[in-house]
Amino acid sequence: LANVTYVKEIGTAAEKSQRVQTLASNIAGPAQADGIKVGRAAELAKADLLTDMVYEFTELQGVMGRYYAAASGEDAEVAQAIDEQYMPRFAGDAIPASATGRALAIADKLDSLAGIFAIGKRPTGDRDPYALRRAALGLLRILLEAEISLDLQAVIAEAVAAQPVECDQTEVAEAVFGFLMDRARGC
C-alpha cells in the first residue's frame, strides 16, 4: 500500500490506512465496538486494493477483502468490517451491520472528508469527483440509524489534524462540520 497513491497531496493508501486505524480505534468506544477488532479491520481494510481481482473489478473492493481475510483465518467480524467500510454504497443501501464495520466506515469517511477539504478540493455545484456528498450522507446515516453518540466536532478535528498537509485546521474542521450539517438537513 505504500506504493499506491491515494491522493497525491495527502499520501499513499498505507498512510490513509494508518490514519483510519487511529481514528477508528478512537471511535470504537462510542460505536460500542471491540477496539482490537476495529484496529485489525482498519489495518487490513485497503489490502484488497492490491489484488488483480479488485484492480479488474473495482466494485469488488471490500467484498474481496472480506473473502481474503476470512480465508486467511481472520476473525469473522474483522472480515465483515472490511466489506462494510464502504457501506452504504448508494442511496437506500444498508448501513454496516456490525459495530466494527460501523466504526471503520465512519473513520474511513471522516478521513476522506478531512483530507480532501484540507487540500481545498471541496465539492462545488455539480462537481464532486471524490464522492464527498455520498461519504457525508453515509456517515450521517450510520450515526443516526445506529444511534451512535459521537462528539462529531472532536473527531472531525482529530481527522483534520492527522492530515499531512499545511492548512488552517480550525477552518477546515468547521468547513467539514458545516458540510455535514448541510447534508443532515436532507436526512
Summarize pLDDT for 152-166 with one digit per residue, the tens: 999 999 999 999 999
Q: Distance of CA 39 to CAs 22, 92, 109, Å?
A: 8, 28, 16
Q: Average per-residue pLDDT in the chain? A: 92
Q: For residue range 55-114, what is the model confidence (pLDDT) as tens digits? A: 899 889 889 999 999 999 999 999 999 999 999 998 889 999 999 999 999 999 999 999
Using the predicted structure, report yes or no on whether residue 54 has a pLDDT greater than 70: yes
Can you tell me which residue has the cell 480465508?
71
Using the predicted structure, report yes or no on whether residue 145 has a pLDDT greater than 70: yes
Predicted TM-score (pTM) of this structure: 0.93
Cβ-based burial of 151 (10 A; exposed 0-12, middle 13-18, buried ≥19): exposed
pLDDT at 12: 86
Q: Which three cell numbers stand for residue 173?
A: 474542521
